[in-house]
Structure 1
Amino acid sequence: MEVGAEDFADILAATRDFIRTELVPREQEFADADAIDEATRAALADMGLFGYAIPQQWGGLGLDLRQDVELAMEFGYTSLAVRSQFGTNNGIAGQVLVDFGTDEQKLQWLGRIASGEVIASFALTEDGAGSNPAGLATRAVRDGDDWVIDGTKRFITNAPSAGLFVVFARTRPADAAGTGIAVFLVPADAPGVSVGPKDVKMGQEGAWTAEVAFRGVRVPDSAVVGGDVDAGYRAAMTSLARGRVHIAAVAVGSAQRVLDESVAYAAATTQGGRPIGEFQLVQAMLAEMQTGVMAGRALVRDAADKWVTEEDRRIAPSVAKLYCTEMAGTVADLGVQVHGGTGYMRGVAVERIYRDIRLLRLYEGTSEIQKLIIGGGLVRAAARAAGPR
């Protein structure tokens, strides 16, 4: 069942109000603690945010990607550690189950994921396999009616609090029949699963990532997502592509926050007895920021629309992520410049955002990978249109 425009408007308004009044004032608290407190997490769960993109039949709100990006632009306005609490449940991990899971797998996991009872982590990245899953070294070997998984994943979002790992592993070398990559549902408390210490990162304090090791982890055949040992690569690519539109929207929200902070600072801060916002070069920076934010917002909405209509689920997501995350980086840099020396001080919003959003250009496919997807996709489409030579 779809969520109607009026109901979604209420959801969006409530989310915006909660973010602006409850979360924005506490951003430094989250950063200093390197954690989101349990009361805040419970409030997010009560609002349905752990399952907003999970279909209603499985316990979520059932928002489509058009609606998702509107929420994501609000999430980007505050500490990105907040969005990280429920991002994998709705996004790259949860969508693997939504799109590829069996009914039994959905029944077992999606309700608990949507409620926030279970945090799902997307365990794909390895030392030698990040933006390109084809390089996976983690192995899954059939042993009777079970599979035994061995390998190590790194930079896994929400790993320290995960209840379920969505694990990508190679069952055989790629061949004419398929990629040989399967995806497995592995409970975090399964014997042989170990989570390393939290990573110490440049930014996004409170958004936890860690290394996860799988040593002789035994799971039943029913743990193979969709019951298809060749579905892993397609599941990863589909989930990541959808996630790229979401991340692009988050980047727009962060850029909007930097713009708002910079306009307010320029209007209130004086130099030589005049507000610095009256200086033309400051106005030029603000104009560049505003242009980027507006262009990014339009691009995100267009990419989300193309996803929902299935017009373009490959090139458009990469275009949106490439432009919006790079744009947000530029806007954050300009925001620090508008603030001058103040913008370089810890405790100032634009300084934190400057560090936080740098990661957006790396995960779910680097900017360089997006360029390869876009350029390669265009060339292949032209070759198909031209026909055999």
Structure 2
Amino acid sequence: MNAPTNPVRANPGMDSDTFEQFAEQLERYVKERLIPAEEEVIANDAVPPEIIDEMRDMGLFGISVPEEYGGAGLNTSQYARVVNMMSYAAPAFRSIFSINIGMFASALKNGATEEQRQEWYPKLVEGKIACFGLTEPGSGSDSAGLQTTAKPDPDGNGWTLNGTKRYITNAPHADVALIMARTEKENLPKNAHVSAFLVPMDAPGVSTGSPDKKMGQSGSHISDIMLDDVKVPGDALLGGETGKGFRFAMQSLDNGRISVGAAATAYARRALDSALRYANERQAFGEPIARFQLIQAMLADSETEIYAAECMMRDVTERADRGENIITKAAAFKVFASEMCGRVVDRVVQIYGGAGYLAEYDAERFYRDARIYRIYEGTTQILQLQIAKHMLREWEKENL
């Protein structure tokens, strides 16, 4: 098995004219196809299969896969824009392909062997669905508490995995999972006791629980993954080396956090557009409530914060494309965008007034859907700790 090659850090991405044409088509698809389908998604708690097929045909499941493996080869800035455009519609549409183009594709880029890339990149491009198995019933961001194990087979040709993963997006219908598992009994420095494995979801011993009932985000499914004496070959070990899994996972989470930040920013924009329309249509005291100064203040504050998040998205993705280390700025963007979205949807409910509390109006749905952005891919509180840790580390380098 070949050792993983160093990933190319600077990424020019798709030709800008070609990408802008694609973006124009995608924006039209979101507004003319996806938004009208939202009621069906909510009613059935599922994205219609024909829409998933359309997304496959558009190449959305492989947009971040390098061109030499059949993908579109988008850079981080272009990837974030696609996620942002798709996330103007109901969150389920982003969710179904986001793990493919974010954390899973990033893990392949950062840590896979060439053989693993040749096997899995084309499968992503054709529309196989991926999931990312890090969180467990007793551990999330705390890797020291990870209990899933991977033990080498006596003949040395494979591994046996046992454990349970929790809150795994797309698990009920995924084709492959990237599973973080303990390959050492004792906790080691730099989380070297954790390794990553590429596990087909149809492998004997892999099962999923029933999709969890959630507060919002209808059509986006999460569930447990149970691993019961799951046998995988030796080449299922990502990168062909033990002890690197957590590092690969954390590197992949940079892309995941950009995706969540881009999604939260777009959903805040969707909610504000709805509130602006409602404020101009709703009459009180003989005039539209949009003319009331305190309504205008909420609209203005929301526009200001969305603009700030859009600027952060552009900055962090351009830095990524230049090859800079973005771990702190990706975390900062995700924290700001997700918290901002929460404030915006709260104002939108207030602008709607009593109607904002009724399920027949969009504001109530926006409010429920947005809450998860502050939790997954790192809670705000965990990311605050991470940001501060890196700030202090940099200060020590410069001053001690």
| TM-score bucket (shorter structure) | over 0.9
Give the equivalent residue in structure 2 for 1:211. Answer: 224
Give the equivalent residue in structure 2 for 1:169. Answer: 181
Task: Name structure 1 gaps, 5 residues minimum.
Answer: none
The answer to whether structure 1 residue 365 and structure 2 residue 378 are counterparts is yes
Give the equivalent residue in structure 1 for 2:95. Answer: 84
Give the equivalent residue in structure 1 for 2:172. Answer: 160
Instruction: Say which of 301, 308, 313 aligns to 1:295.
Output: 308
Please give the alpha-carbon distance, in whole angstroms, between the structure 2 residues aligned to 1:56 and 1:224: 24
Deviation sequence 1:117-143 (CA, Å, 0-9, x none): x11110111012212333211011111
Could you tell me how far 1:64 is from its partner in structure 2? 0.8
Give the equivalent residue in structure 2 for 1:124. Answer: 134
Quick one: structure 1 residues 178 and 262, their matched pair in 2 at CA, closer, same or farther if it must change by over 3 Å? closer
Give the equivalent residue in structure 2 for 1:95. Answer: 106
Please give the alpha-carbon distance, in whole angstroms, between the structure 2 residues aligned to 1:310 and 1:214: 37
Please give the alpha-carbon distance, in whole angstroms, between the structure 2 residues aligned to 1:48 and 1:8: 13
Could you tell me how far 1:175 is from its partner in structure 2? 2.9
Instruction: Say which of 69, 72, 83 aligns to 1:72.
Output: 83
SS of 2:60's equivalent in the other structure is coil
Give the equivalent residue in structure 1 for 2:158. Answer: 146
Please give the alpha-carbon distance, in whole angstroms, between the structure 2 residues aligned to 1:148 and 1:218: 5
Give the equivalent residue in structure 2 for 1:180. Answer: 193
The answer to whether structure 1 residue 112 and structure 2 residue 123 are counterparts is yes
Give the equivalent residue in structure 1 for 2:290. Answer: 277
- Aligned residue pairs total 386
Deviation sequence 1:211-263 (CA, Å, 0-9, x none): 01001111111100010111101111000122111211111100000111111
Question: One-letter code of the match for 1:139?
Answer: T
Give the equivalent residue in structure 1 for 2:212. Answer: 199
Instruction: Say which of 240, 261, 270 aligns to 2:274.
Output: 261
Deviation sequence 1:173-227 (CA, Å, 0-9, x none): 2335862111001111111111110110001110011101001111111100010
The answer as to whether partners of 1:332 and 1:353 remain within 8 angstroms in 2 is yes
Give the equivalent residue in structure 1 for 2:144. Answer: 134
Question: One-letter code of the match for 2:271?
Answer: V
Task: Name structure 2 gaps, 5 residues minimum.
Answer: 1-11
The answer to whether structure 1 residue 331 and structure 2 residue 344 are counterparts is yes
Please give the alpha-carbon distance, in whole angstroms, between the structure 1 residues aligned to 2:366 and 2:145: 32
Instruction: Say which of 369, 381, 386 aligns to 2:394.
Output: 381
Quick one: structure 1 residues 69 and 294, their matched pair in 2 at CA, closer, same or farther if it must change by over 3 Å? same
Could you tell me how far 1:313 is from its partner in structure 2? 1.8
Please give the alpha-carbon distance, in whole angstroms, between the structure 2 residues aligned to 1:93 and 1:357: 23
The answer as to whether partners of 1:124 and 1:167 remain within 8 angstroms in 2 is yes
1:224-243 equivalences under 5 Å are 224-243=237-256
Deviation sequence 1:261-289 (CA, Å, 0-9, x none): 11111111101210000000000000011
Question: One-letter code of the match for 1:39?
Answer: E
The answer as to whether partners of 1:60 and 1:115 remain within 8 angstroms in 2 is no
Per mean C-alpha deviation after superposition, the further-off stretch among 251-260 and 126-135 is 126-135
Give the equivalent residue in structure 2 for 1:28. Answer: 39
Please give the alpha-carbon distance, in whole angstroms, between the structure 2 residues aligned to 1:120 and 1:240: 15
Question: One-letter code of the match for 2:24?
Answer: A
Question: One-letter code of the match for 2:141?
Answer: S
Please give the alpha-carbon distance, in whole angstroms, between the structure 2 residues aligned to 1:217 and 1:279: 62
The answer as to whether partners of 2:98 and 2:259 remain within 8 angstroms in 1 is no
Quick one: structure 1 residues 93 and 266, their matched pair in 2 at CA, closer, same or farther if it must change by over 3 Å? same
Quick one: structure 1 residues 241 and 135, their matched pair in 2 at CA, closer, same or farther if it must change by over 3 Å? farther
RMSD: 1.3
Please give the alpha-carbon distance, in whole angstroms, between the structure 1 residues aligned to 2:107 and 2:193: 17
Question: One-letter code of the match for 1:132?
Answer: D
SS of 2:306's equivalent in the other structure is helix
Question: One-letter code of the match for 1:134?
Answer: A
The answer as to whether partners of 1:28 and 1:347 remain within 8 angstroms in 2 is no
Give the equivalent residue in structure 2 for 1:18. Answer: 29
Give the equivalent residue in structure 1 for 2:62. Answer: 51
Please give the alpha-carbon distance, in whole angstroms, between the structure 2 residues aligned to 1:347 and 1:132: 40
Please give the alpha-carbon distance, in whole angstroms, between the structure 1 residues aligned to 2:360 and 2:87: 18
Please give the alpha-carbon distance, in whole angstroms, between the structure 2 residues aligned to 1:175 and 1:257: 45
Give me the identity figure in percent.
37
The answer as to whether partners of 1:94 and 1:120 remain within 8 angstroms in 2 is no
The answer to whether structure 1 residue 322 and structure 2 residue 322 are counterparts is no
Question: One-letter code of the match for 1:142?
Answer: P
The answer as to whether partners of 1:306 and 1:316 remain within 8 angstroms in 2 is no
Could you tell me how far 1:310 is from its partner in structure 2? 2.7
Question: One-letter code of the match for 2:109?
Answer: V
The answer as to whether partners of 1:131 and 1:364 remain within 8 angstroms in 2 is no
Quick one: structure 1 residues 121 and 176, their matched pair in 2 at CA, closer, same or farther if it must change by over 3 Å? closer
